[in-house]
């Protein structure tokens, strides 16, 4: 297989959890050209991935007929030998089938599986393993069908050189008036609507507790994406009431710039959202908060940090889905000692 199209055209966090799969595919077949089909909002991140050779932008299932027709023509013109749909629905199945990709692999789900000529049974709804492992299983199956031994990838899946990080750190030091000699604790209180998150009061109690009890003098940076600026400002005001100083980082030069900034963090705290998974991709130590319901557990959406560099919390498990997703059930006083111990170890 000389040219492979890999499809992961959903949210940022989902895409970042595909990086181990891209790495396995590239490391197992170094001479293969790998093209990623992604939405426009993850294009910049895909361009950073060392295991992706080319990026193809998906117009999306809600696009007009002409745009969809043009995308199918583009896929067909590139004469891919194979496609791997890490996320499958009728739209994705239709793309590779109509484009005539000869080898089409995807999870065996729903009626759309009939449009693939190679299918792997996966029970993702059971959330028995991390999402990135389900992605890896698909690539393992693909390689096995080619008679190729899988090379198991290891973190980090993205690393910037020292000069790049030094330049980015200086940029942040200047623009945010940060002390470059201190470790920086990044806190992202937004969720992008992807998952339930802690309240601002919970974040305030956690960050205040960390700053007051840890033996390390840190700078606190509150990150915010588009539409999350007001939430970051509220958190800054709440922290200030407890004499915890922080700065807001809500302006950047795009996702690549934001990723380089995250790589400068000493630790990253957030809910189950895109920025948390970006931090894990560059192996910044992460503390994440997840609902306990089966489709959103800490296991299912485990970030791709290396061993020992991620700490997860969730509400107590409950048969009632609403209770399991109630993040107010996470008691900050209870999780603070483990958070402090984790940060003391990784900082």
List, for residues 273-294, the tens digit of each pLDDT value. 999 999 999 999 999 999 998 8
pLDDT reported for residue 112: 81
- The continuous run of DSSP H or E covering 229 comes out as helix 229-241
For Cα atoms 224, 131, 40, give the angle at the middle one, nearest 5 degrees.
50
- Give the mean pLDDT of the chain: 95
User: Cα(318)–Cα(244) distance, rounded to whole angstroms?
Assistant: 35
Q: What is the DSSP string of 65-106?
A: HHHHHHHHHHHHHTT-SEEEESS--HHHHHHHHHTT-SEEEE
pLDDT reported for residue 195: 66
Residue 137, SS3 per DSSP? helix
User: Cα(237)–Cα(306) distance, rounded to whole angstroms?
Assistant: 34
Query: Where in 108-198 does DSSP place strands (E)?
Result: 118-120, 184-188
For Cα atoms 217, 222, 224, give the angle at the middle one, nearest 5 degrees.
160
Tell me whether strands 103-107 and 310-313 are parallel, antiparallel or unpaired.
unpaired
Q: Could you say which residues of the chain have pLDDT below 50?
A: none
Long-range interactions of 30-36: CB distance < 8 A, separation 24+: 31/2, 32/1, 32/2, 32/3, 32/4, 33/2, 33/3, 33/4, 34/4, 34/6, 35/3, 35/4, 35/5, 35/6, 35/78, 35/80, 36/5, 36/6, 36/7, 36/8
pLDDT reported for residue 318: 84
pLDDT reported for residue 253: 96
Phi, psi of 317 (to 5 degrees): -60, 145
Give how far Cα 240 sits from Cα of 21, 237, 273, 302, Å. 43, 5, 25, 32
pLDDT (tens digit per residue) in 190-223: 986 666 899 999 999 999 999 999 999 999 999 9
Beta carbons of 194 and 321 less than 8 angstroms apart:
no
Catalogue all structural domains in the chain, each as residue range(s) with its CATH number. Answer: 3-145 (3.40.50.2000), 162-346 (3.40.50.2000)
pLDDT reported for residue 193: 62
Which pTM value belongs to this model?
Answer: 0.96
User: Cα(57)–Cα(199) distance, rounded to whole angstroms?
Assistant: 35
Whether omega before 156 lies within 30 degrees of 0, making that bond cis, reads yes
Which class for 66: exposed (0-12), middle (13-18), buried (19 or more C-beta within 10 A)? exposed
Beta carbons of 44 and 256 less than 8 angstroms apart:
yes
């Amino acid at each position: 297989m000389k040219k492979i199209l890999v499809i992961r055209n959903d949210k940022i966090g989902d895409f970042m959890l595909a990086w181990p799969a891209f790495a396995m595919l590239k490391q197992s077949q170094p001479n293969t050209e790998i093209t990623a089909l992604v939405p426009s909002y993850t294009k910049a991140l895909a361009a950073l991935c060392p295991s992706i050779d080319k990026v193809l932008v998906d117009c999306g299932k809600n696009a007009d007929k002409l745009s969809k027709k043009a995308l199918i023509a583009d896929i067909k013109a590139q004469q891919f030998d194979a496609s791997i749909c890490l996320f499958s629905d009728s739209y994705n199945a239709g793309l590779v089938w109509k484009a005539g990709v000869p080898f089409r692999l995807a999870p065996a789900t729903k009626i759309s599986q009939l449009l693939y000529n190679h299918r792997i049974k996966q029970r993702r709804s059971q959330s028995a393993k991390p999402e990135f492992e389900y992605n890896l299983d698909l690539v393992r199956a693909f390689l096995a069908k080619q008679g190729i031994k899988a090379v198991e990838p290891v973190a980090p899946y993205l690393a910037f050189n020292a000069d790049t990080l030094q330049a980015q750190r200086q940029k942040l030091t200047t623009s945010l008036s940060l002390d470059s000699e201190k470790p920086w604790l990044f806190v992202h209180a937004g969720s992008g609507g992807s998952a339930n998150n802690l309240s601002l009061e919970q974040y305030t109690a956690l960050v205040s507790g960390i700053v007051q009890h840890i033996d390390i003098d840190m700078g606190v940076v509150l990150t915010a994406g588009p539409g999350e600026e007001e939430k970051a400002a509220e958190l800054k005001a709440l922290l200030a009431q407890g004499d915890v100083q922080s700065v807001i980082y809500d302006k950047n030069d795009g996702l690549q710039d934001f990723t380089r900034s995250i790589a400068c963090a000493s630790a990253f705290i957030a809910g189950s959202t895109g920025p948390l998974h970006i931090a894990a991709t560059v192996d910044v130590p992460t503390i994440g908060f997840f609902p306990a319901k089966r489709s959103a557990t800490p296991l299912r959406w485990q970030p791709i940090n290396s061993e020992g560099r991620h700490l997860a919390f969730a509400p107590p498990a409950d048969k009632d889905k609403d209770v399991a997703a109630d993040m107010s059930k996470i008691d900050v006083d209870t999780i603070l000692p483990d958070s402090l111990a984790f940060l003391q170890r990784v900082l």
